[in-house]
Structure 1
């Protein structure tokens, strides 16, 4: 990472707002306090609507990463691209996302969570238009890079926004909608890509989520925690009341938010080196470690080039396997959402990691049999079933939960800089896997999947030893437990 990038991260957090003092808290709590007879539960309608708007960015994320698999053959034929050129196109999205991740915390803290999502949409729209008109690799790669930058910001802004607006008892399920809509966007790209040209695919699945998001942002409130941190008293009250309902008693939640922010703002401005302080080292290790686990399992290589993988296994066309890959993600992700706030984050991560390593081992075994010319009739079945076991297992936990935990475990004043670091690590791993995958599978398909399976064993040990359970705890309770 360059020194300029490091300085960008160090400037990622807002300066504490000077107006956020004790009298401000007291006066605000008096304003938001209501009678004991007021409905304590209020309404979650606006929280649900706000989440629905935010996850349009997640759908855009899925559309971007899902585009390359069904489009590979047609783009290579139409633009006469080599394997290396298409590998660059497929993976350059992760380089753009890495830069987006570097700036994501700073942008989200400077212009708000809504402003960050709007900016992301603009970059994605520009990128898809460039891909649509591309007649060669230069404009094609430029457009892919722009969409990468946009989704790099989305990876931070969307889960953080949802975590900050959601009631604590619904936070897990609502934040998991981020991953659900990612796989929905990816599945739509996979399915639609089998029946339309790659240019039409860019216009439809690429532009629609961004347009919906930009329109929706006009109707939803900003994160109340961000507004409180900025000292915007009236807007904080209005936002929290909209999110909890006009008849809800928000005094207790407002008090908890302000007391937490006041305590955090007594601390000095966060810097990159602060992440290595004893009080933050554990959440940094957990967040960065989970991002490494997510990528080292092979998701972006397998997902970006699924169609070609199935053809390597001996299928005449990868379309059947691609359709199955697309269809299995959505119902399994729904199951994960249901279980997240019931079974908990940690147990789902363990199940997910075990399943991904098993899926890679099955696929690798299928390719090994092909190399040895043994049981050749079983090779396509083993390869496809292994990949489906992998993606089903990934969807139930490892896809969503690392982002959820990242949004939960960091205090507000350091969330921007820490979240940017976690996103950078994630996208760096994504680039390594997505760029090298085509070369690895040409070297040894069996070795490639067994390598991912080996990383899965290490990932399982990491989750079992270091990752805590955050189910049912407020953000403030989670931060306190990590420092105990």
Structure 2
């Protein structure tokens, strides 16, 4: 095992400028260079990722919960459509509250601590829903769940990106979206067979699994370095890279970059809008806004109703088909992430969601205009194309890029802003969706198609390719004030 880190020179404040691992050699002793994965490191990062994405699974179940539960909750608690729309969309209000404090909590309580806090909040929320007897307890529980997943939606991809070697980061980070899809798919399927109260109890299970798993996984080395835990930083990085791996080069790069960042003034939200960070902020915020305004959460929250409105006798077949499509497509995205790159997958994904919305819009237009030919099948095909395409890239890659482009001194405030924008967009779409369908069903999907088409242009013009680069390299290239720190 590598020895402790040693400083090589100090700045004016007495802080170490460079660290090395005693007794390690980059070319001797049979030790591997950090950055390539050994079998032992793979086991650790797989286990750590599995625990982290239990939160993503919870996220997906929470998003998918409202669609199969709609008829049961409205019938049992005598809710109107407007009241149920509040229940469906209020999750995003809670998520916005969670997003506002997500960066601060993840910085102060650590990445693992933030996940544990979110698990407790989500568990309380699901129990309130499961045992609710009136409208108010139902909505309070939904807000609690929203707060929990608002925090999870930030901290899970950040934790995964911070523990991964660069050659695995993209694929493993996309597992976040894969598990969101799995959670949503399970909620869709289970909701057709069990009651809404039992489904709420099922939502507690991934929270408990993650709470237990957090006891056994390492903390983010970059968080430890940022907050001065140098001994733990080395130990956790060594654990993640494997005991036979030379971590001196990677550890020095992280430590140097972190020490340089600590010389900068304490970051505030307004600092993000300085010219040094504006490229990263524009890419991060723009991707999140376009991801949500393309209509995904309206479709996921109310999929059953969309199928019925399109002329199907029941929404169950369509929602199960959506669940079946999601999982293999996100799996394909995981495989392609570090091969094809982020940008190509994003553009193909956005183009596919555009096509899907056009097909659904055409189906509704044919019904409203009483065309002789029956285009109902276009609604099913369009939603499957939309969900499959979204799962391929637009679902997960914006969160991967968000976790990569902001330096760790700005990551708390930037992550809170980006996550808040995502959930604000989600709330706008999920709350307005039912009313938009009443206004113009085909017009709603044509609007979504336009936004998805604009996403292709946005990605081509402003989103960087981050495949195969360290976080420090990416952040220095995206933020002009940091470029001298990485030379």
Q: TM-score, normalised by structure 1?
A: 0.93
Pick aligned residue for 2:456 from 427, 448, 460: 460
**1:306 lines up with 2:294 in the alignment:** no
Give the conservation status (yes or no) of the 8 Å contact 1:21–1:262: no
Displacement of 1:376 in angstroms is: 5.3
Equivalent position SS for 1:348: helix
1:386 positional shift: 0.5
Q: Supply the distance in 2 between the matched residues of 1:94 and 1:53 (Cα, whole angstroms).
A: 24
Query: Kindly tell me: are residues 426 and 20 of structure 1, through their superposed partners in 2, closer, same or farther at Cα, counting changes over 3 Å?
Result: farther
Please point out which of 256, 260, 264 is paired with 2:261.
264
Q: Distance in 1 between matches of 2:409 and 2:188?
A: 39
CA–CA separation in structure 2 for the residues paired with 1:162 and 1:363: 35
Correspondent of 1:200 among 179, 198, 201: 198
Matches of 2:43 and 2:22, distance apart in 1: 23
| Contact 2:362–2:375 (CA under 8 A) maintained in structure 1 | no
**How far apart, in 2, do the equivalents of 1:202 and 1:19 lie?**
54
Which of 388, 392, 399 is the aligned partner of 2:388?
392
Asked if the contact 1:56/1:209 (under 8 Å) is kept, the reply is yes
Name the SS of the counterpart of 1:29 in structure 2: strand
Unaligned runs of 5+ in 2: 1-9
**Any idea what SS the aligned residue of 2:214 has?**
helix
Structure 1 residues 98, 32: CA separation in 2 closer, same or farther (over 3 Å shift)? farther
**In 2, distance between residues paired with 1:190 and 1:279?**
44
The question of 1:60 aligning with 2:58 is answered: yes
* Match runs of 1:28-43 below 5 Å: 28-31=19-22, 33-34=24-25, 36-40=28-32, 41=36, 42=38, 43=41
Instruction: Report the 3-state secondary structure (helix = DSSP H, G, I; strand = E; otherwise coil) of the residue aligned with 1:279.
Output: coil
CA shift for structure 1 position 33: 3.3
Are residues 185 and 19 of structure 1, via their aligned partners in 2, closer, same or farther at CA, if it must alter by over 3 Å? farther
SS at match of 1:134: coil
Structure 2 Cα separation of the partners of residues 360 and 276 of structure 1: 34
Q: Distance in 1 between matches of 2:393 and 2:404?
A: 16
What is the distance in 2 between the residues matched to 1:20 and 1:140? 57
Contact 2:357–2:382 (8 Å) recurs in 1: yes
C-alpha distance in structure 2 between counterparts of 1:21 and 1:31, whole Å: 24
Given the alignment of the two structures, is residue 401 of structure 1 paired with residue 397 of structure 2, yes or no?
yes
Tell me the distance in 2 between the aligned counterparts of 1:331 and 1:281.
Answer: 36
Q: Which runs of structure 2 are paired with 1:112-127 in the superposition (5 Å)?
A: 112-127=110-125
TM-aligned CA deviation for residue 178 of structure 1: 0.3
Tell me the number of residue pairs that the alignment of Structure 1 and Structure 2 aligns.
Answer: 464
Q: In the aligned structure 2, how far is the partner of 1:474 from the partner of 1:302?
A: 36
Alignment of 1:71-86 (within 5 A): 71-86=69-84
| CA deviation profile, 1:324-365 (whole Å, cap 9, x unmatched) | 011100000001111111010001110011111110010000
Q: What are the within-5 Å matches in structure 2 for residues 148-187 of structure 1?
A: 148-187=146-185
Task: Report 1:320-331 matches (<5 A).
Answer: 320-331=317-328
Q: What residue is the counterpart of 1:190 in the other structure?
A: 188
2:20 counterpart SS class = helix
Q: Helix, strand or coil: the match of 1:218?
A: coil
Following TM superposition, by how much is the alpha carbon of 1:21 offset from its aligned partner in structure 2, in angstroms?
A: 6.8
Gaps of 5+ in 1: 1-17
Who is 2:4 aligned against? none
Give 2:247's aligned residue. Answer: 250
Deviation of 1:32 after TM superposition, in Å, equals 7.2
- Return structure 1 stretches of 4+ with deviation > 3 angstroms: 18-26, 30-35
Offset, 1:22: 6.3
> d(CA) in 2 for partners of 1:230 and 1:51?
22
Partner of 2:3: none
Any conservation in 2 of the 1:361–1:453 contact (CA below 8 Å)?
yes
Query: TM-score when scaled to structure 2?
Result: 0.93
**Are 1:54 and 1:162, in contact at CA under 8 Å, matched by a contact in 2?**
yes
1:366 aligns with 2:357: no
The structural deviation recorded for 1:456 is 1.5
From 464, 470, 478, give the equivalent of 2:474. Answer: 478
**Equivalent residue, structure 1, for 2:288:** 291
Shift of 1:38: 3.6
**Contact 1:102–1:421 at 8 Å: present in 2 too?**
yes
